[in-house]
Structure 1
Amino acid sequence: MKSICEALRDARETDLADKLSGALSTIEDNTSSEKSSHTFLPNNAGASLNVPAFISFITILEKYASAKKHRLSIIHDKTKAYERGYAELYRLYSQPDRFEFPLTDGSSLLMGFSHLKNICFKESKESPWIQSADVLISGLNRFLKAVYKDEFVNPELLELGKYVSPAIFDNIFKRGDSVCSNEIRKKIRDVIQETNMYR
């Protein structure tokens, strides 16, 4: 950062250099704090963008299982980078007394699970569940990309998208809010409704 300030001064950007220099200690403190927050999970898994998605996912699963009175387990493919981190995150969220923390977007984080029983890790080749999930997510990804890019959606993908796209649901949980905008959600619904009209 100091070299950036010096380069700014050399370029006669003294006002910006002074402001940046004055904020240097705060920037360094924030950077240090951010780096240390990544180390609370094994293998530095806290640095991954997957961590917030995983927390959201297990919260949604627990709410769904609770609403439907099901007991669920998660089977995840073995990944050296995240296996221990995900197991630790699951433990941190599942074991405390039940508590729901509201978020500013109207959704919430849930702690203390009673319906999401456990998480285990298996090699993809050992688990038909993981293989099926890979195929399902691949198809859903193709459907959503086609809709997003205003491309043709073939009938098979459309059937899949109708039944498994979380972005088309409004009522039960706020599933799609963190992954797509209302505009994209409307686009998905329009593609599905338009096709239904021609049947």
Structure 2
Amino acid sequence: MTNTRNQLCSCGSGLKFKKCCLEHQNKYTVFCDETGNSGSNYLDLNQPFFVIAGWVVPNTILKNTAFLDECASSLGVPGELKSSKLLNRKKARQEFISLFERLNELGCIPVFIYAEKKYCIAAKVIDTLLDPKYNNQLDDWFTYDNVTKKAFIEKVYLFPEELLTSFIHAYKDCDAEKMTQCILKLSDYAYSIGLDTLSTLFKGALSKIESNMASEKAANKRLPNNAMAAINLPVFASLIQMIEPLGRKNKVTLTLIHDECGQFEEAYNDVFERFATADPSERKFVDGNTITFEFQHLKDFSFGNSEQNRWLQAADILAGVLGRLFDRIYHDKLQNDELLELVRPLIPSFFRQDIDLSRSICSISTVNKIYEVIPSS
């Protein structure tokens, strides 16, 4: 029997297999980046979505970035490939179609989460005001009843924008007096449109509003740059909660590398450590979803410099394409068929049934609007 361990590796590196690709078998690196980053400014209507996206790359091909160099050369880009600078160019969009196809051929898998900022405000209303710890109308069971929570969020999503605006400003200030006035307005409006139960639940938050806001203020101080109040943190948490099960299902080891983002780096590291190194357990919700504690497959997390890393540039392009697509669908301005061509290689990530490769944190109406376009592409 031939001992393949001592033969030259088939990848062409010139090294023996045991010193090359054998070390990388069943190991993958996820390179990710973001778009639509407005931090705690949930009300940035010019950027209705926050997207975090990346490529799951087999470690056996990490050194194979020649095709990315060729893409940059073809576009006349001497340095970093940046979607924000290139997506307006027709040639760039055409090059990115080929780039995505090549990434698929190499076994790279796109993963992404897209969050609608207005929906996130509605979710923040429910999470903050209908927390059983600070609401005398609710029992602890409600903490895990995300089916009922999501139904309430959909209702609040349709509230007048000025009510959502006043809430998020009061929340960012952690001001008990402002929040009290906001709760009364939310309750009155809910009652006026026949949402009696929700109206009553909102008023239940009044009894402990000072301790609730004090708790939020303390949480905000724990991490710098007001990270606890930003949309970025929960979306990042959702990403790592998607990647760990991916590793478990496929019995592979994963490393996550995020493009440098100074404002939230400490917060991201904190969130990762809290999940990754916690005592092993799973928190199950009513709809069957779970939160996993103690990561067994997502072993490492770090930040990289996209100027020096072509794979992070590929993640930037993926996030940029998705961000632009969702924005144009949202504003009924999708007129560029090349965007749909760019999304074609990503369709399996939208529709995989056996494992999550994408997640939406959006209203039902927005998800339906996006999915009306995606299958037709």
Q: How does 1:102-117 map to 2 (within 5 A)?
A: 102-117=284-299
Report the CA distance between 1:2 and its aligned residue: 9.9
Counterpart-to-counterpart distance in 2, 1:166 and 1:33: 42
Query: Hey, what does 2:238 align to over in structure 1?
Result: 56
1:148/1:187 contact within 8 Å kept: yes
Q: How does 1:175-194 map to 2 (within 5 A)?
A: 175-177=358-360, 179-194=361-376
Q: How does 1:1-199 map to 2 (within 5 A)?
A: 26-41=208-223, 44-164=226-346, 168-169=350-351, 171=353, 172-173=355-356, 175-177=358-360, 179-195=361-377
- Runs of 5+ consecutive residues of structure 2 not aligned to the other structure: 1-174, 179-204
Q: Percent identity?
A: 35
Give the letter aligned to residue 339 of structure 2.
L
Give the letter aligned to residue 168 of structure 1.
F
Counterpart-to-counterpart distance in 2, 1:71 and 1:174: 16
Report the CA distance between 1:28 and its aligned residue: 2.4
Give the letter aligned to residue 109 of structure 1.
I
- Runs of 5+ consecutive residues of structure 1 not aligned to the other structure: 5-22
Identify the structure with the greater helix proportion: 1
Cα distance, 1:151–1:30 mapped onto 2, change above 3 Å: same
The structure, 1 or 2, with the larger RCO (C-alpha pairs under 8 Å, 6+ apart) is: 2
Cα distance, 1:110–1:143 mapped onto 2, change above 3 Å: same
Counterpart-to-counterpart distance in 2, 1:39 and 1:160: 41
Give the CA RMSD over aligned residues. Answer: 3.0
Counterpart-to-counterpart distance in 2, 1:47 and 1:189: 30
1:65/1:115 contact within 8 Å kept: yes
1:167/1:176 contact within 8 Å kept: no
Query: Hey, what does 1:16 align to over in structure 2?
Result: none
Report the TM-score, using the length of structure 1 for normalisation. 0.72
